[in-house]
Structure 1
Amino acid sequence: MIKRSLAAAASAAALASVVVTVPPAHAEGAGKCNPDRGEACLFYNSGQGGAYYGTNKTTAYTSTMRFGGGGNGNGVPVKNNAASVINFSFDHFLVIDYNSSNRCAYACQKITPHRSTNLNSTLKNNNAAQHWLRSD
């Protein structure tokens, strides 16, 4: 009887850990770009091709942020590997930064709201961060 109770408790705990670790359906990241959330969608290839990564946050790209969705670049880190981008925001400029500081200290590129473009020659494969500017 005690063995059955312990086995049932262990099964319940294992199930609870699975339920807790399931990501939300609207998660951002590798292989996810959500136009409805105004995300930036970075692509591994020029012309918005290959694997992609989406986020609507101001962030310095980290080694855990990786392109997904299949195709060229799948699994490659976003930092210093993006070639093109879509800005799905309707009211904010997306700024891609050369440095992780989000300050355009060396170089940056401002992308108009709801526009896609290739990164310029300085930032292509040299992207370290992104931030947003209101487009009043």
Structure 2
Amino acid sequence: MRKTALLASFAAAALAATAFTGVAAADTTSTARNGKCENLEFCLYYNSTLGGSVSDFDRKVSNFAPYVFKGPGAGRGQSVKNNAASACNRMGRYTARIYYNSGYKGPHDDIPPKACRNLSVTYNDNASWKWVLS
């Protein structure tokens, strides 16, 4: 009888652990600056066509100088400023605007909501970015 009760408690614990893991896996929140391009983030890539290391953001940046690429691949640890070749906007409502100069000034590239593309105007000349209404 004790053995049956013990096995039942182990089974219940295993079921609870499985249920908890399932809930955690369903979580869609993002964690900025973790080197992964997640939902609701703006991401810059070191290489064209979303290649190389990634740097992910959830809020505007007036000067990329203190930021580095965090994801695995070519460019990891390099400064984000003037080193990005492509970008991905995982935000569903706003356009991501990347500026040539710090302080959100100068020529810019726009990445529409839920889109990814190579940079053109700011290709390896990116200094700041922010969300703008689409």
**Mapping 1:80-119, distance limit 5 Å:** 80-103=82-105, 106-119=106-119
Count of residues paired in the alignment? 106
Alignment partner, residue 18 of structure 2: none
> In 1, are the aligned partners of 2:30 and 2:41 still within 8 Å (CA)?
no
SS at match of 1:64: coil
User: Superposed, which structure 2 residues align to 1:26-105 within 5 Å?
Assistant: 27-29=31-33, 31-35=35-39, 38-103=40-105
What TM-score comes out, normalization by structure 2 length? 0.73
Give the aligned CA root-mean-square deviation in angstroms. 1.6
Q: Extract unaligned runs of 5+ from structure 1.
A: 1-24
For the Cα contact (< 8 Å) 2:98–2:130, is it kept in 1?
yes
Q: CA deviation at 1:63?
A: 3.1
Classify 1:102/1:67 alpha carbon distance in 2 versus 1 (closer, same or farther; 3 Å). Answer: same
Unaligned runs of 5+ in 2: 1-28
Deviation readout 1:99-130 (Å, 9 max, x if unpaired): 11213xx310111100000000x311100000
Alpha-carbon distance in 1 for matches of 2:87, 2:30: 20
Identity of aligned residues (%): 35
* Distance in 2 separating the partners of 1:71 and 1:90: 27
